[in-house]
Homo-oligomer: A and B are copies of this chain.
């Protein structure tokens, strides 16, 4: 008899300087950058960094729930803040801003279409900087 034990959950992950730097940078900025921006900014401290590594790690961290992915017009942005909050896409300058939870209330009733496991609200608007 053969017993196969499948252990669910993420694979063992080794420490990597690149992934740590990526996570640190993402947590220290509020600009919701894309992969390209992260790559260019990390190049300063990690000159050998490659874009493939950035994408690989972002994908991995997003799957593990360590960071958030924000799907926006034709490109993906990332957020190191995984607390429940929402985003506003400024139609004028393209920036993505945080909209804290207290401004919004969302309630979902039971339905027979799907079991809802989560949701994301992306607002459109004109940010305070652009209004001026």
Residues of A within 8 A of B (CB): 69, 71-74, 76, 88, 90-91, 97-99, 102-128, 131
Contact at B121–A121, with CB atoms within 8 Å?
yes
Which residues on B sit within 8 Å (CB–CB) of A128? 112-114
Contact at B107–A111, with CB atoms within 8 Å?
no
Which residues on B sit within 8 Å (CB–CB) of A116? 88, 123-125
Contact at A88–B104, with CB atoms within 8 Å?
no
A127's nearest neighbour on chain B, judged by CB, is: B114
Contact at A127–B104, with CB atoms within 8 Å?
no
Q: A106-B104, A106-B106, A107-B104 are in contact. Are A114 and B121 (CB under 8 A)?
A: no
- A127 vs B71: C-alpha distance in the bound complex, in angstroms? 21
Min C-beta distance of A54 to chain B, whole Å: 16
Which residues on B sit within 8 Å (CB–CB) of A110? 103
A86's nearest neighbour on chain B, judged by CB, is: B119
- Known contacts A71-B73, A112-B128; 11 further A-B pairs (Cβ under 8 A): A98-B113, A103-B110, A103-B113, A108-B123, A115-B131, A116-B123, A116-B124, A117-B124, A118-B123, A119-B123, A120-B121
